[in-house]
Amino acid sequence: MTQGPYIDAGAELDPVHPVELPRPARATGLTTAEVAERVANGEVNDVPVRSSRSTADIVRANVFTRFNAIIGVLWLIMLFVAPVQDSLFGYVIIANTGIGIIQEHRAKKTLDGLAVIGEAKPTVRRDGTADEVSTSDLVLGDLIELGPGDKVVVDGETVEAEGLEIDESLLTGEADPVHKKPGDPMMSGSFVVAGGGAFTATRVGREAYAAQLADEASRFTLVHSELRSGISTILKYVTWMMVPTAAGLIISQLVHERHDLKDSIARTVGGITPMIPEGLVLLTSIAFAIGVIRLGRKQCLVQELPAIEGLARVDVVCLDKTGTLTEGGMNVTGHRLLGGADETYVRQVLGAFGASDPRPNASLQAVVDAYPDTSGWRCTRALPFSSARKYSGAAFGEADGETSAWLLGAPDVLLPEGDPALREVGRLNEEGLRVLLLARAAGSIDDADGGPGDTDEGDGDGPDRGAGTGEGTGAGTDHDPVTAGAHPTALVVLEQRLRPEAADTLAYFADQNVAAKVISGDNAVSVGAVAAKLGLDGATDTVDARQLPADREAMAASLDSHSVFGRVSPQQKRDMVAALQSRGHTVAMTGDGVNDVLALKDADIGVSMGSGSEATRAVAQIVLLNNSFATLPSVVAEGRRVIGNVTRVATLFLVKTVYSVLLAILVSCFQIEYPFLPRHLTMLSTLTIGIPAFFLALAPNKERAKPHFVRRVLRYSIPCGTIAAVATFVAYMIARHYYVGAGSLDAETSVATLTLFLVSMWVLAIIARPYTWWRVCLVLAMAGAFLLVMVVPALQHFFALKLVGAPMPWLGVAIAAVASGGIELVWRWVDRRYPG
């Protein structure tokens, strides 16, 4: 085969005068008056698309909780039997609940605002004119146009179909696309993988049951959250411990002590309330909400809050090349004539081919821009691109009356192995260029089988559509009657623009030990060349996915040992995600094309570009509205902040729960007065947990996310809480024997409070590490506030605290110092024993 010269795409040729040909009539859709009539009759698509729960749901979730109910009852009791000081814990709960509602409502407003930006806007034909409208503005009987990647938003009936292939897998589980012809039903929640057309809306709003199912599946299926499930587990354990412990405490205080009834009730309540980690759920919600707000400012839509946490736990991220590592647009840099083809004729064919698709993708748009249609040819048959075929086709009635059929697609699929042109294709691929082959079909293009569709030309990894590949190892000519005998005419060379931020983002993931896998439908060599320019390790050792074994374990081994994969089919993408997960990896998948949908759905975290298809945006947990791959590190950082900080504050809260339960048990066993009133523990909780936890939960934290949240928290909190309880009880018992006489209980309580505060402060000092200036100031401020209470007479009276004499207070300090040393040793031992 003779190769022609390399022709610049911008070279000018004499135009050929177009011949005006009649176009078939098409439906005009509803009139403005008919739309107004349907709106008046309520025949509108009134199902709201929400990105977050409603305000009423937020209020209910923050107010009507199990522990709020317990604390509310105890608070009402204290309002009747004790001074206002002992009811402070109730006001703290009210303030905390209010803060939680406000913060989550702020996050809701951020999410809803971003959701409007990223909302799918279907194209509706009214009065013969096509315009984009909001989904909620659709009415019954609207004529809705469809193109590659569009989601079917309401139920309907097909009116126009041009090679229209619909993927209904999210509804039916059937992976093969369905070919649609006029009269066929359309199911809401499905999406277009190839071709185009239009359908009439027959069921809208809540009547479109399939739409509700699809929306439920794609938007409200919760990401697994280890924090959420871990905290639920902790609260369940706490509830189990509280019931018998509280019963024993009530019996010991009201029956055995037989002191003043009101004082006994107050001390009973004082023993029960600190067992409840009431602020833990609040601070977790606030941490997530603040993360959503921060990411929202960077045009990142988090459709499910725990997705922030999920991405922080990811150790493998699978990336599309086009649209992720490269920018969406492409440029045709030129073409190479094959087999002595005529330059003018090739330009006419390419121009006509571009004009044959009313909604060209990025690859074909580049052809359209480089080769304007001046042929005047009539397109008689169009074959949309399919990931299984790896090519598209068109048949024309030429101006001179001749007919011809043409194919445009991947050279290594359309050409047989060993074809001389493949050597030139390989050389161009090594430079990171994309190459499409224009070939004249020997027969009819009507014989093409409909495989899983996609929407990108040739190499199949378009910025808006994802990747795909033909099956088998040989060229399509061996198995496909359409490509059999196809005559190669020209190679069209396209250049992609690298995203300027992609190299830094890949470097970030490498630094964080997150493996990046580039999974593309492009030629593997071309993908590797692009990845190498961005500094990805192992970019030159590429794998053609058509050679991958079907066995999951063998595929997982190949995925672990390689970083770049080309010619990947949509089903293979899904299989690759499953193979990685089978080896215990937490997988994030980025994509913007319709053939990424199933892989995005199966991945632990799905990330879609804002410019991607409606279908991918619908199933992804995170949508990058600014289309910037560089936003992902910010999402990872937010997730790590949430996980690391919630782990910190959870340890604080659980230490309090452990020492409260153990103190109650010890008091019940020894049948003595409970050492604290509610006011004492409210002050201690506020200074050593409440205020510090609020700041620590929102602080920056770049620590890598670690698994087993509950196990790690309990490893620290149980021994530390036990030491704190024993130290406090010992100091209290010694003080009971030291102070004798009327009014001694306040002195005993003061020593116990001092001891417990100092031990708790040491726990706080450990959790505040590594120290920064503001963390040191925070710890010192809490210590200063306690000192103020102990030295100011009015505050001493308010909190019923007064240190009597010198020996016992100093003994309390000594006991606290020994206990703090024990906590330090335990903490370091746990760190060494369980580094992960």
DSSP assignment of 604-645 equals: SEEEEETTS-HHHHHH-SEEETT--GGGHHHHHHHHHHHHHH
Q: What is the pLDDT of residue 260?
A: 65
Mean pLDDT of 577-594: 86
For residue 449, pLDDT over 80 is answered with no
pLDDT over threshold 90, residue 371 = no
Q: Which position has the higher pLDDT, 403 or 269? A: 403
Please report the pLDDT score of residue 162 as a whole number: 81
Is pLDDT at 3 greater than 70 in this prediction?
no
pLDDT number for residue 180: 86
pLDDT band at 171 (very low <50, low <70, confident <90, very high): low
- Averaged confidence pLDDT in the chain: 79
**263-290 average pLDDT score:** 76
**The pLDDT value given to residue 208:** 64
Q: Is 90 exceeded by the pLDDT of residue 815?
A: yes
End-to-end CA distance of the chain: 61
- Tell me the C-alpha distance between 171 and 598, whole Å: 12
Q: What is the pLDDT of residue 17?
A: 37
pLDDT > 70 in the chain, percent:
84
- Antiparallel, parallel or unpaired: β 542-544 and 564-566: parallel
Output the pLDDT for position 91.
75
Exposure of 309 by Cβ count < 10 A (0-12 exposed, 13-18 middle, 19+ buried)? buried
pLDDT band at 476 (very low <50, low <70, confident <90, very high): very low
pLDDT in tens, 415-439: 888 788 888 888 888 877 888 888 8
Q: Is the pTM of this model over 0.75?
A: no
Measured between alpha carbons, how far is 238 from 723 in angstroms, rounded to an integer?
19
Peptide bond into 770 cis (omega under 30): yes
State the pLDDT confidence band at 111, using cuts at 50, 70 and 90. low
Contact 80, 92 (CB under 8 A): no
Only one residue has tokens 């135009």, namely 15
What is the spatial distance between Cα 677 and Cα 269, in angstroms, rounded to a whole number?
A: 8
Q: Find the helix or strand (DSSP H, E) in which 114 lies.
A: helix 88-118
For residue 30, what are the contacts with CB-CB under 8 A and spacing of at least 6? Answer: 38, 126, 127, 139, 141, 142, 143
Token duo for residue 686: 């506020």
The yes/no answer on whether domain 296-324+499-635 falls in CATH 3.40.50.1000 is: yes
The most confident of the ranges 123-132, 461-470, 615-624, 780-789 is: 780-789
Whole-angstrom Cα distance, residue 764 to residue 688?
Answer: 7
Per-residue model confidence (pLDDT) at position 62: 78
The answer to whether the CB of 324 falls within 8 A of the CB of 345 is no
Which of these ranges, 121-125, 206-210, 332-336, 422-426, has the smallest mean pLDDT?
206-210
CB atoms within 10 A of CB 824: 15
Bridge partners of 403, per DSSP, are 397
* CA R_g for the chain: 34
296-324+499-635 matches 3-26+329-497 in CATH topology: no
Side-chain half-sphere exposure of 784, counting CA atoms within 13 A: 6
Average pLDDT over residues 580-595: 84
Residues found in the chain: 836
640-688 pLDDT, tens per residue?
A: 888 888 888 888 888 988 998 899 889 888 888 888 888 888 899 889 9
Closest to 768 measured CA to CA, from 641, 640, 649, 650? 649
Sequence-separated (6 or more) residues with CB below 8 Å from residue 766: 823, 824, 827
Distance CA 771, CA 758 (A): 19
CA distance 455 to 390: 10
In terms of Cα–Cα distance, which of 533, 364, 361, 507 is closest to 432? 533
Residue 390 scores a pLDDT above 60: yes
Q: Two tokens at 328?
A: 């969406």
Catalytic residues: 320
Of residues 347 and 261, more confidence is placed in 347
What pLDDT shows up at residue 26? 65
In this structure, the number of other CB atoms found within 10 A of the CB of residue 458 comes to: 29
| Confidence check: pLDDT of 306 > 90 | no
pLDDT at 326 over 50: yes
For residue 181, name the pLDDT band (cuts at 50, 70, 90): confident
Helix (H) or strand (E) holding 334: strand 326-338
Q: Are strands 622-624 and 300-302 parallel, antiparallel or unpaired?
A: antiparallel
Three-state SS letters, 693-754: HHHHHHCCCCCCCCCCHHHHHHHHHHHHHHHHHHHHHHHHHHHHHHCCCCCHHHHHHHHHHH
Average pLDDT over residues 541-570: 87
The pLDDT confidence band at residue 728, using thresholds 50, 70 and 90, is very high
75 vs 50, more confident:
75
pLDDT at 258: 53
- Per-residue pLDDT band for 16 (boundaries 50, 70, 90) equals very low
Domain residue spans of the chain: 3-26+329-497, 226-280+648-833, 296-324+499-635
Q: Band of the pLDDT at 325, cuts 50, 70, 90?
A: confident
Considering the segment(s) 3-26+329-497 as one domain, its CATH architecture is 3-Layer(aba) Sandwich (3.40)
Locate the DSSP E strands across 410-550. Answer: 434-440, 487-498, 515-519, 542-544
Question: Which letter does DSSP use for residue 44 in this model?
Answer: B
Q: Please report where in the chains the tokens 């571009």 appear, as a residue.
A: 354
More confident position, 160 or 52: 160
pLDDT at 99 over 50: yes
Residue % of the chain over a pLDDT of 90 = 12
- Confidence band (pLDDT; 50, 70, 90) for 783? very high
Per mean pLDDT, which range of 302-316, 582-596, 632-646, 785-799 is the poorest?
302-316
Helices 632-670, 744-767: crossing angle, 10 deg rounding: 150
The predicted pLDDT at position 810 comes to 93
Check whether 21 has a pLDDT greater than 80: no
Residue 821 is predicted with a pLDDT of 95
Least confident of 145-149, 445-449, 506-510, 756-760: 445-449
Joined tokens for residue 304: 């499910």
Contact between 393 and 462 under an 8 Å Cβ cutoff? The reply is: no
* pLDDT tens track for 346-356: 888 888 888 88
Q: pLDDT confidence of 115, banded at 50, 70, 90?
A: low
Q: Using CA atoms, how far apart are residues 130 and 28, in angstroms rounded to an integer?
A: 9
